[in-house]
Amino acid sequence: MQTLNLTHHISNDQQGLYLLMPFEMPAFTERIDIEYSYPYNHNQPLTVENGNFSSRQRVNRIDLGLLAPDGSQVGASGSSRDVIFVSTTEATPGYQPHPLSAGTWQIMLGAYVVSPNGVDVKVSLRFTPKTRRWLKGDLHTHTLASDGLLPLDHLARHAREHGLDFIAVTDHNQPVKRASFPKIPGLTIIPGLEWTHYKGHSNFLGVEEAYQGAFFTNTDEEVQEKFRQARQNGALICINHPLESSFGFRFNLEALDFDLIEVWNGPMRPKNIETIAWWDQMLKAGKRQVAVCGSDYHEDTVFQRLANPTLNVLAWSASEKDILAAVEAGHSYFTYSPTDLQLDLDVDGATYGVILPWRTGLEAHLQALSLETGDQIRLIDQDGERILLTAPGNGDWETNIPVEKPGYLRLEVWRSFFPGLPMLPALVTNPIWFDSVL
């Protein structure tokens, strides 16, 4: 944590002015705490018949505000708060959550009342740096705005109660505004839309308006134009449940610019296993395709539940921007629920989604947490698949895996959820890639 202490003298003739105090925001700050203090009162003894009376008179009143590098007002609190904070996702009332970009920020000191001798205002700034953490969420949900059962505020509370850190709202062909989101502490809500056509579904994430006009199109060119606009407007683009028989993706993927493929949609079933295998063929063919999962939640049923599956993302903060950046980069794995089952992979400090130069003697360090008896950890690379471990009991496992050649490496945990029934994937990771060094 970095701190900065500043003192600003305000003279009596500056009373009535708004004064600016610049400071440098360090790069990679997640939260800033600002505390300010100054002598409020002038105390004076008064003569009384018995005892000592000290009369108190307010002689200084200084207001506080904060401006971002572009001059926009992040917040202002008058003289009613001595301590405020702003982070990428939360802030003291009167202030807005704001990305804390590196650069010159300004504290506004309002010289409302200043004593004849002037006043020294002490301002102390505390910068909390970003640290990467695993977050759990779901990027594919529906509400009452399309064919889901719950209104958005109900869905959001449900998500938080379920232990999720983020959700994306992706109603069929229905754009949504951030201003309409309920404020749920600890939950980041991401705007999105499931572009839904008879020939394919695609999530456009992180934008309020992905494209101009209506959703429907009748030609491939118009579809390409929708995707081009979504890209231009900054959407993260995901091809949803591509192999589903009745609502799979039947447009030419080669002609479209997209970021992600949803390889695990809703409860694990043969179609998802087929889709994971199809994606793996792409990886074997050398395409560095990042995958994602989504519950496609509409309502709780025997089969469908929110965050079944759960997207586990290693992000720099819980802001929408940092979550989507981590999703895009593939720093993620998917689990059947918000379970404690976890696979941490570390290769020279890097993890899933990263491209590393390969070298002789390279090793991946794997830590598996909350395995259950009989769980199989499978390693899939450019050459095929092998079982690394069949868990001998409930517990954790740690090992080193040699990376023998360039290519990719990804992991799955398979579990028998019901005695006698076949094993199913309980966890699927994105790959980590290894470049050959010439």
Residues that bind Zn ion (CB under 5 A): 194, 201, 240, 296
- Residue closer to Zn ion, measured from CB, 194 or 259: 194
CA dihedral 392→393→396→399, nearest 10 degrees, is 0
User: CA dist 433 to 206, 289, 322, 330, 332, Å?
Assistant: 26, 11, 22, 11, 14
Q: Give whichever of 31 and 142 is closer to Zn ion, judged by the CB atom.
A: 142
Cβ at position 335, least distance to Zn ion in Å: 19
User: Which residue lies nearer to Zn ion by CB, 296 or 320?
Assistant: 296
- Residue 327: exposed, middle, or buried by beta-carbon count in 10 A (0-12, 13-18, 19+)? buried
Q: Cβ 271 to Zn ion, closest distance in Å?
A: 13
Would you say 170 or 429 has its CB closer to Zn ion?
Answer: 170
Q: Are 105 and 20 in contact (CB under 8 A)?
A: no
- Indicate the residue whose CB is closest to Zn ion: 201
- In one letter, which amino acid is 47? T
The DSSP-derived string for 279-344 is HHHHHHTT---EEEEE--BSS--SS--TTSSEEEEEESSSSHHHHHHHHHHT-EEEESSS-S-EEE
Closest distance of CB 139 from Zn ion, Å: 10
Q: How far is the CB of 176 from Zn ion (least distance, A)?
A: 14
Q: Which is nearer to Zn ion, 65 or 309 (CB)?
A: 309
Closest CB 144 distance from Zn ion, rounded Å: 14
Q: How many residues does the chain have?
A: 438
Min dist CB 279 to Zn ion, Å, is: 17
238: closest CA among 210, 272, 203, 200? 203
| Residue 92 vs 217, nearer CB to Zn ion | 217
State the Cα–Cα distance between residues 241 and 254, nearest whole angstrom: 17
